[in-house]
Amino acid sequence: MALLQIQHYPEVVLTETSVPVTEFDADLRTLAANMVETMYAAPGVGLAAPQVAVLKRLVVIDCGDKEDPKLVVAVNPEIIERDGESYEEEGCLSVPDYYACIKRSERVRVRFQNLQGEVIEFNAEGLLAICFQHEIDHLDGKLFVDRLSSLKKGIFRKKYQKIMEQQQEQL
């Protein structure tokens, strides 16, 4: 297994739409394993393939903890039902050191395939529901900051530029 390089805003690959996975082979399993290792090392609770410059509809999510991991590897995930409203602070491995409250559905029903191609459906709520929505947005070429109002996007761009300048100074 290997750690993959996480792409950061404003990399173009983060704005592109991912293609559905059609081959459930060893390459897909290797990519998923590398994404899991990368997510844990970052550390994060979710990672989508475009974040590692692979435009495939694949996400890995773990909203558990070290004592009780709850890893989900979802191929071709989609939200088939939404319910309720949530307004929680989100961050993203592709937008380091920036957080904002984002409006999402509180509960979702998701459908995806596992690494063997079997279809799975289940209900997710709370952090898991937010993670699925966030990661599926990545597959559609959207970042959580794209969901901000125009005013907040302007503030984000200025603040993020300062964050990046500070990181460059530390190098």
For residues 52 and 6, is the Cβ–Cβ distance under 8 A? yes
pTM: 0.94
Residue ranges covered by each domain of the chain: 12-145
Asked if 34 contacts 56 with a C-beta cutoff of 8 angstroms, the reply is: no
Rounded to the nearest 10°, the torsion over CA 103, 107, 111, 115 is 80
Report the catalytic residues.
135
- Which percentage of the chain shows pLDDT scores above 90? 85
The residue type found at 89 is: E
pLDDT at 171 over 90: no
Q: What is the tens place of the pLDDT at every residue in 57-110? A: 999 999 987 777 799 999 999 999 999 999 999 999 999 989 999 999 999 999
Cite the DSSP H helix spans in 58-149: 127-139
pLDDT tens, residue by residue, 118-144: 999 999 999 999 999 999 999 999 999
pLDDT in tens, 24-55: 999 999 999 999 999 999 999 999 999 999 99
Distance CA 94, CA 7 (A): 6
pLDDT value of residue 165: 85
**Residue 1 predicted with pLDDT over 90:** no
| Displacement of CA 55 from its chain's centroid (Å) | 13
The residues that bridge with 71 in the sheet, in sequence order, are: 62
Homologous superfamily of domain range 12-145: Peptide deformylase (3.90.45.10)
